[in-house]
Amino acid sequence: MSKILVGNSPYRTMFRQERINQSQSKVKEAVMTREIVKIEINSFTIMIILFILVFVLGGIYLMNFNDNETKGYILKRLELSQQELIDQNNLKNIALADAKAMNQMIESGSLDRMRKPGEVEYIFGDSILAKAN
pLDDT at 128 over 70: no
Q: How confident is the model at residue 36 (pLDDT cuts 50, 70, 90)?
A: low
pTM for the structure as a whole: 0.37
Closest among 129, 102, 130, 101 to 117, alpha carbons compared: 130
Q: Which helix (H) or strand (E) holds 128?
A: strand 128-132
pLDDT at residue number 114: 76
Tell me the pLDDT tens digit for each residue of 61-99: 998 888 888 888 888 899 999 999 999 999 999 999 888
